[in-house]
Amino acid sequence: MRVKPFLLFAACVLLFIILGLIHLSQGQASTGLLSFWMEVWDNEQELNFLLYSRMPRFLIGCLVGAALAVAGMLLQTMTRNPLASASTLGIHAGAFFFVVLFSIFFPSIKGAFPFFVTMLGGIIAALIVSFLVGRALDPIRIALTGLIVTMLFSSFTSALQLLYENEVSGLFLWGAGTLLQLDWSGVQFALPWVLFTLLFAFIIGHRFDALLLGEDVAVGLGQNVMISKLIGWGIAIILAAVSVTVVGPIGFVGIMAPHIVRLMGFRKHRSMLIGNIVVGAGLLICADIFVRMISSMSELPVGAMTAIIGAPWLVYLALKVSRKTRTAGGALEGKVRIKHIKRFYLLISLAVLGLVGFSLSFGGTSFTSLLELPRELMYNTFVWDFRLPRVVVSFGIGMMMAASGLMMQTVLRNPLADASVLGVTSGASVVAMLVLIVFPQAPFVLIPIGALIGALVTMGIVLFISARSGYQPMILLLMGVAISAVGSAIIQILLVRANLHASQALTWLAGSTYGTSWSDLVIVMITSLLLFPVILYMANTFEILSLSDELSIGLGVKTSKMRMFMIILAVMLSSISVSVVGAIGFIGLLAPHIARQLVGPKLLQLLPLTIVIGGILLISADFLGRVVLAPKEIPAGIIVSLIGAPYLLYLLKKTNKIKAS
């Protein structure tokens, strides 16, 4: 090794030792770093804590950190993608989904073969990502496809956790990633798998060096590229599966560690493997130290902390990859397929009335005929006080989310723009949750105000950072995913600290119309009456913004001010929606695209149909969530995600490919 990499590596080893000493000295009864190590040898109780609680936690953190870092390094080599890791390619989400699935339906198999269950999930997720990406090697597209597959698996997992709460009651904290160890069993299981896999990777490390030169060069050097890639994928999936089996899905370590090692100057895979072992273990131990510093009395998910630390890396790498591919997007296209617009709107109105009627008729396992519905509304207090406001609020929130998505897509000229996709929904959720937890007795009106502040701050961050890339659609989306990861991590920490029940937490994170009341309807109506007229009045000006900046300025529109005004309106609609029903996503993404394919891109024709379709989507999701598995309910947000995530993958395939620099 050269002198500089060797010195940096020695510094990392020294830092790792210091972090290890700090980590082992942490605990509820710890007296501090120096005093602990001076007194522990004479205190039998402290020594037992060290040997049977803190040492297993430290060693499992080292094993998992090393495994995730090496897996990330190999995945980045196999895909030639600096954004690749087990978390960004969906391997963690697939493995966790299979753990939950087998825990519910095949507990004996999961108990007997936990590692093979997680590995099967990781393999299936990796195959799905590979199939969707094909032979394309664009780094951002690969990462986005993996992240959307992650969202899809996460929706399935959340649905199972809510429907089978008792069967998976112990998986909530573990599902967010935790190093908590009650004995040495986790270390005993993981140690042989990780050590032998890392040793095998070191022995054949030279095979992967040729892949860095390109497949053609590797073939010219006599390398069987397919065999090398299969071996690399296999090693990465094994390491990721072992990690998920013992500590749950922990993200971003596999992204950060390989890049830190490369910045130190290592280029060969054998030396990079050694460096990743030290750096990966150090990163995870450092994150666990921060977690235990935040809360010494209760266990917090370390996966949430790695997301908070690692998301900025994801944004930085995405901007670095896209440095030479600046674009501001183009005008969104659509087709006019509806010739008799009045007849069409009449049919839509009848469909909405029928859907509202059916939604009011079904309640759990009971059904009221449409003929008896007026009588039920008059005399049945349950229907009037609970079912009716829920249905009307669902339709109103769907309208607001759809309008928000339409305006964001128009102003950013980005077919992938939406409050949930850009991270705005997550930012609004964080502040709304803070208001609920910190000020439980505060007036209800503070919740939408807090959500609005969080959404505006988040949108400002997204626009400020993505301005360097020319507001590229892919960069905006990847930034939104990173911010959403941070938001979800903060919410998980807040929920654990507040000691909320797991089902309450999952329902909030998924987004649900359950429990909405007449007071929520008042908020929806006031927001709609104040903002929708403004949007309609400014529709012609907003439509000009969908053109190029040069044309907009030539037509007398102050583009910067109007764009900011339009974004603020969109953020207000989405944030108030979050404050009422939680983090429901994808409505603002789906509704404008469906409407645009029916009536074309003209905003005055597009806006009314978009908001109606948004209302239909959410009221339909709420209806399906209530009746599919009645009397159990699936949150509307999960139903929408199961539709929206595949549609987002479809949109990614349709968008123009970005050439990697």
In a 10 Å sphere around its CB, with 0-12 CB exposed, 13-18 middle and 19+ buried, how is residue 108 labelled? exposed
Cβ atoms within 10 Å of 254's Cβ, excluding its own: 36
CA dihedral defined by 365, 370, 373, 375, rounded to 10 degrees? Answer: -130
Per-residue pLDDT reduced to its tens digit, 369-415 = 656 666 666 666 667 777 788 888 999 999 999 999 888 888 777 77
Q: Choose the weakest-confidence range: 166-175, 236-245, 520-529, 620-629.
A: 166-175
Q: What is the DSSP letter of 385?
A: I
Percent of the chain with pLDDT over 70: 82
**Residues 314, 319, 324, 327, CA torsion sign:** positive
Per-residue pLDDT reduced to its tens digit, 97-147 = 999 999 888 889 988 888 899 999 999 988 888 877 766 556 667 777 787
pLDDT of residue 300: 77
pLDDT of residue 471: 63
- Give the list of residues 6+ apart from residue 77 with CB closer than 8 angstroms, or none: 208, 211, 212, 232, 269
Residue 336 pairs with which residues in a beta bridge? 599
- Give the list of residues 6+ apart from residue 460 with CB closer than 8 angstroms, or none: none
Q: What is the DSSP string of 162-180?
A: HHTTTTTGGGHHHHT----
Packing angle, helices 139-163 and 502-510, rounded to 10: 140
Give the residue with greater pLDDT, 657 vs 626: 626
CA distance 85 to 72: 4
Q: How far is CA 546 from CA 570, 586, 606, in A?
A: 15, 21, 13
Cβ atoms within 10 Å of 118's Cβ, excluding its own: 30
CA distance 431 to 437: 10
pLDDT of residue 134: 67
CA distance 261 to 273: 9
Long-range CB contact pairs, 606-612, < 8 A, 24+: 606/334, 606/406, 607/403, 607/406, 607/535, 607/536, 607/539, 608/345, 609/345, 609/348, 610/402, 610/403, 610/405, 610/406, 611/399, 611/400, 611/402, 611/403, 611/532, 612/348, 612/352, 612/399
The three state secondary structure string of 537-590 is: HCHHHHHHHCCCHHHHHHCCCCHHHHHHHHHHHHHHHHHHHHHHHCCCCCHHHH
Q: How far is CA 205 from CA 40, 209, 215, 225, 429, in A?
A: 42, 7, 16, 14, 45
Per-residue pLDDT reduced to its tens digit, 583-609 = 787 888 888 888 888 887 777 788 888
CA distance 592 to 600: 10
Under a CB-based contact definition with an 8 Å cutoff, are residues 476 and 466 in contact? Answer: yes
590: its two tokens: 């789906």
Per-residue pLDDT reduced to its tens digit, 27-83 = 655 566 777 787 778 777 777 878 888 899 999 999 999 999 999 999 988 888 787
Per-residue pLDDT reduced to its tens digit, 440-452 = 776 766 777 888 8
Read off φ and ψ for residue 103, nearest 5 degrees.
-65, -30
Per-residue pLDDT reduced to its tens digit, 421-480 = 778 888 888 887 787 777 777 676 677 788 888 888 888 888 787 776 666 666 777 777
Quick one: pLDDT band at residue 84, thresholds 50, 70, 90?
confident
CA distance 585 to 151: 11
Per-residue pLDDT averaged across 485-510, rounded?
68
Closest CA to 469 of 325, 652, 315, 660: 325
Element housing 362 (H / E) = strand 362-363
Per-residue pLDDT reduced to its tens digit, 2-38 = 667 888 889 999 999 999 988 888 765 556 677 778 7
Q: What is the number of H-type helices and E-type strands within the chain?
A: 31, 2
CA distance 623 to 625: 5
Residue 62 pairs with which residues in a beta bridge? none
Residue 599 pairs with which residues in a beta bridge? 336
Quick one: pLDDT band at residue 659, thresholds 50, 70, 90?
very low
Give the residue with greater pLDDT, 445 vs 623: 623
568: its two tokens: 């603020």
pLDDT of residue 661: 39
CA distance 535 to 566: 8
Q: Which residue has tokens 């959500």?
A: 451
pLDDT of residue 124: 92
Q: Which residue has tokens 């908070």?
A: 308
Per-residue pLDDT averaged across 501-509, rounded?
57
pLDDT of residue 444: 66
pLDDT of residue 474: 66
pLDDT of residue 328: 47
Per-residue pLDDT reduced to its tens digit, 267-303 = 888 999 999 999 999 999 999 988 888 776 667 788 8
- Give the list of residues 6+ apart from residue 632 with CB closer than 8 angstroms, or none: 162, 163
Stated pTM of the model: 0.79
Per-residue pLDDT averaged across 504-519, rounded?
70
Q: How far is CA 514 from CA 357, 429, 507, 517, 634, in A?
A: 18, 17, 9, 9, 10
Per-residue pLDDT averaged across 248-256, rounded?
88
Q: Which residues of 491-502 are buried (b: 16+ CB within 10 A; e: fewer)?
A: bbbbbbeeebeb
Report whether pLDDT(499) > 90: no
Cβ atoms within 10 Å of 377's Cβ, excluding its own: 14
233: its two tokens: 């994928």
Cβ atoms within 10 Å of 49's Cβ, excluding its own: 18
* Three-state DSSP state, 367: strand
CA angle at 48 for the pair 47 and 50, rounded to the nearest 5°:
65
Q: Choose the weakest-confidence range: 159-173, 387-401, 449-463, 493-507.
A: 493-507
pLDDT of residue 549: 62
Quick one: pLDDT band at residue 555, thresholds 50, 70, 90?
low
Quick one: pLDDT band at residue 656, thresholds 50, 70, 90?
very low
Report whether pLDDT(185) > 50: yes
CA distance 310 to 68: 13
Cβ atoms within 10 Å of 438's Cβ, excluding its own: 11
Q: Choose the weakest-confidence range: 23-27, 327-331, 524-528.
A: 327-331
